[in-house]
Amino acid sequence: MEPERRSATGRVPRLQLDELLDELQLHVDEVRSTRDRLHSLLDAVMNVGRDLELGHVLRRIVEAAVVLVDAEYGALGVLGEGHDDRRLAKFLPVGVAEEQAAAIGAPPCGRGILGVLTRHPEPLRLREISEHPASHGFPAHHPPMHSFLGVPIRVRDEVFGNLYLTDKRDADEFDAEDEAVLSTLAAAAGVAIENARLYEESRRRQRWLAASAEVTAALLSGEPEDAVLGLIVERAREQLGAELGSVALPVPGSGHLRVALAHGPGAGVHEERLLPVDDSLSGLAYTDGEPVLSEDVQSEPRLHGSTLRDAGLGPAVAVPMGTSAGRRGVLLLARAAGAPAFRPEETAPLQGFAGQAALAMELADRRRDAERLALSTDRERIARDLHDLAIQRLFATGMTLQSTVRLERTAEGEEKLLRAVRELDETIEIIRTTIFGLRAHEAGDHGAAGLRRRLVGTVETAAATLGFSPALRTEGLLDVNVPPGIAGHALAVLGEGLANVARHARARSAEVVLAVGADDLTLTVADDGVGLRPGGHRGGLANIAERAQELGGTFRVHAPDGGGTRLVWRVPLRAHDPADPAGPAGTPSHAAG
């Protein structure tokens, strides 16, 4: 009996030892599993924080979450920017093929189970999704899903978005440990997202600074206004990913803005368009002096018949250029339809950029004023030098010659001296005319070409047809005393006269003289050609005669003794001018009834 008792006694401790060993092995496995999971969590945190591109960071977060809790599907939903916007602005799924996602359709916006975490940002675990009261089912082509685990992601105590995991692979539901692991990952994800956002913001500021430096360099180098404005629009488009960029300028006294330039596909449709101040985004920004944003111009109630809608554009922003004390125009950017709306942090630098556009326009105006002033000063200096130096010396020479006449006894000598005096007088008159022309041009409209300049242009144009340059001489105050209507007739007569010389005269030289006296204008065109041929075509001469008759003047064409042809067209300066409200002799015209 003793051996049997010892055998039974030894078997009992051995069984207890086996149980203890099994329990110990179980704990060891649990410790190893926890260790492995902890290592996986640490690796996930490291991977999530390794990248600084926000898009890549978000994708890494979802992929790491799926691996950590062994889920079939995962997604990250990013909330809208506004504090009151609880919709999902972005949805990044993992585990669903691209073809299947396309068949499902538009991504969710935050209703149903997804909206529970949006409204109540606390961890949520479900054994069966369909059993929750907020469940609305799945859209067509959506894969079936059962177990669910969701946790919020916070960035600086604000909810950035939510992590959603469904269908645990090796169990019917997610457990508390899965929730703890996912919450830890979400905390690390919040730090990684904040770092990525700060990095993105620094890069955005760097790009804006580089663009501003480029615009400043263009301004300081004296680039034309259109070139600087075009550079500003192009850089603003690149910075904000806009499809269209344009600058609209006010049309004085019209209540409209004119699109001065536009860049982007189909920009020609928008250029030179008139925009009503009270019925367009640009007009509202110009009136209010504040940026105006639209999430989608297609459904924008403040627009009616806008070219932005016709071009199929979506989000838009309009920023005034300048300050309330002096707005120069509006800078507008628009993205393609369906693109994300402009965010406040994106458009904040745009206001400073628009200020540079206003500065470019202001500098262009000041540069034009300076050029006009320099040109005016130069003309005044030339006129003063001609008067003080040339005319005085010519007067002195003329007086010397006149006194010499008394000493010259022969008729031939007297004739030569008198001819020299007459030539000096004519030279003095030409210089006087030049001086008056310079000063009249300074006092008149800088944008309109005077008669003298148009006269020179007509002669230069005819030189190409003639084969030589006609001599040109002017006398009197052309740009002051000649009314616009008579000036137009004179230029037409000159053009016809030179055309006749080119077609019929076979001349080697020609001379044009335009003399303006106190009461009349005389235009003379002379050449050394073959002269008037009997029976020749006289249509052009008839037109010249009709112009003289219309203005109450005379016209004569003859062959001088030395050969050639001489055309003389004379009209009174106070003849009726259609551009002048006064009629003949300065009397009021009653043509209007």
Per-position DSSP letters for 490-554, written without gaps between them: HHHHHHHHHHHIIIII--S-EEEEEEE-SSEEEEEEEE-SS-PPTT---HHHHHHHHHHHHTT-E
Q: What is the pTM of this model?
A: 0.49
pLDDT band at 524 (very low <50, low <70, confident <90, very high): very high
Residues 6+ apart with CB under 8 A from 388: none
- From residue 252, give the alpha-carbon distance in Å to each of 255, 256, 260, 279, 515: 7, 8, 14, 17, 41
pLDDT band at 26 (very low <50, low <70, confident <90, very high): low
- What are the tens digits of pLDDT across the range 40-98? 555 656 666 566 677 777 888 888 888 888 888 988 888 876 545 567 777 888 888 88
Nearest to 490 by CA among 529, 438, 548, 444: 548
pLDDT at 160: 84
pLDDT for residue 526 is more than 90: yes
pLDDT band at 386 (very low <50, low <70, confident <90, very high): low
State the average pLDDT over residues 463-490.
Answer: 85
pLDDT band at 568 (very low <50, low <70, confident <90, very high): very high
Q: Helices 451-466 & 484-500, crossing angle to 10 degrees?
A: 10
Q: In what order do the strands lie in the sheet with 520-527?
A: 471-475, 510-516, 520-527, 565-572, 554-558
217 vs 44 pLDDT, higher one:
217
Nearest to 521 by CA among 452, 587, 459, 475: 475
Query: 138: part of which helix (H) or strand (E)?
Result: none
- From residue 493, give the alpha-carbon distance in Å to each of 170, 458, 525, 570, 580: 102, 11, 10, 11, 20
Query: 224: part of which helix (H) or strand (E)?
Result: none
Q: Helices 54-69 & 176-220, crossing angle to 10 degrees?
A: 170
Which two tokens mark 89? 């602005």
Give the CB-side neighbour count of residue 343, counting CA atoms within 13 A: 10
pLDDT for residue 229 is more than 70: yes
d(CA 123, CA 139): 25
Which two tokens mark 234? 């192009």
d(CA 406, CA 414): 8
| Mean pLDDT score across all residues of the chain | 76
pLDDT at 522: 95
Question: Worst-scoring range by mean pLDDT, 14-23, 50-59, 244-253?
Answer: 14-23
pLDDT at 534: 63
Nearest to 504 by CA among 541, 470, 473, 469: 541
Among 3.30.70.270, 3.40.50.1460, 3.40.50.300, 3.30.565.10, what is the CATH number of 451-586?
A: 3.30.565.10
pLDDT band at 555 (very low <50, low <70, confident <90, very high): very high
Are residues 81 and 224 in contact, defined by beta-carbon separation less than 8 angstroms?
no
Which two tokens mark 83? 């504090």
pLDDT band at 553 (very low <50, low <70, confident <90, very high): very high
Residues 6+ apart with CB under 8 A from 115: 86, 134
* Range with top average pLDDT, 36-45, 326-335, 566-575: 566-575
pLDDT for residue 415 is more than 60: yes
In CATH, the architecture of 218-344 is 2-Layer Sandwich (3.30)
State the average pLDDT over residues 505-511.
Answer: 89
pLDDT band at 399 (very low <50, low <70, confident <90, very high): low
Query: 129: part of which helix (H) or strand (E)?
Result: none
Per-position DSSP letters for 368-436, written without gaps between them: HHHHHHHHHHHHHHHHHHIIIIIIHHHHHHHHHHHHHHHH--SHHHHHHHHHHHHHHHHHHHHHHHHHH
Question: Worst-scoring range by mean pLDDT, 26-40, 119-133, 337-351?
Answer: 26-40
pLDDT for residue 438 is more than 80: no
pLDDT for residue 193 is more than 50: yes
Are residues 462 and 495 in contact, defined by beta-carbon separation less than 8 angstroms?
yes
207 vs 54 pLDDT, higher one:
207
190 vs 369 pLDDT, higher one:
190
pLDDT band at 409 (very low <50, low <70, confident <90, very high): low
18 vs 217 pLDDT, higher one:
217
State the average pLDDT over residues 228-239.
Answer: 84
pLDDT for residue 403 is more than 60: yes
Tokens 């004179």 locate to 490
CATH number of 40-200: 3.30.450.40
Are residues 477 and 440 in contact, defined by beta-carbon separation less than 8 angstroms?
yes
Per-position DSSP letters for 170-209, written without gaps between them: SSSS--HHHHHHHHHHHHHHHHHHHHHHHHHHHHHHHHHH
pLDDT at 566: 92
